[in-house]
Amino acid sequence: MPVSVKNILDAKGRDVMSVSREKTVAEVAAILAENKIGAVVVTSLEGRIAGIFTERDLVRVVAADGADGLQKPISSGMTANVIRCREDTSLNELMETMSTGRFRHIPVEEGGKLVGIISIGDVVKARIREVEAETEHMMAYIAG
């Protein structure tokens, strides 16, 4: 069975750091630092995905506006057109999407609600496990 987003979430959990669009860039920078994460998902009051803001966006805001940018709302620097996946999305599809889209985070959405997030670190970990399992199978097969 190919590895899916559900398998990854079952192993790592479904907690996602989400913020409202009014939070300032400085507040979100503190959240990223405190939680040692690279991205937050911006959600509406109903829990729908409204955007994503990552450390890349933080760098872009500071490069463009300097310290003034830190007091702006996160909505001014986030990416609003968020590419999402579902629990049944395969590991291969995740790798393809991250590689072609050139981003390292994909929120998981089910029934219009945010239910998890996959980072490139999760993808690498899952792929290593998959390769190890494949190798074990081959060795067992060869050993007869």
Q: What are phi and psi of 80, to 5 degrees?
A: -85, -25
Choice between 57 and 122, CB closer to ligand AMP: 57
CB 76 within 8 A of CB 23: no
Please report how close the Cβ of residue 38 comes to ligand AMP at its closest, in angstroms.
Answer: 6
Choice between 33 and 133, CB closer to ligand AMP: 33
Long-range CB contact pairs, 116-121, < 8 A, 24+: 116/5, 116/9, 116/13, 116/14, 116/16, 116/87, 117/16, 117/39, 117/41, 118/5, 118/8, 118/9, 118/85, 118/94, 119/37, 119/38, 119/39
Please report how close the Cβ of residue 81 comes to ligand AMP at its closest, in angstroms.
Answer: 6
Please report how close the Cβ of residue 83 comes to ligand AMP at its closest, in angstroms.
Answer: 4
Choice between 105 and 122, CB closer to ligand AMP: 105
Which residues of the shown chain bind ligand AMP in the complex (CB under 6 A)? 38-39, 52, 54-57, 79, 82-83, 103-106
Choice between 54 and 89, CB closer to ligand AMP: 54
Please report how close the Cβ of residue 77 comes to ligand AMP at its closest, in angstroms.
Answer: 8
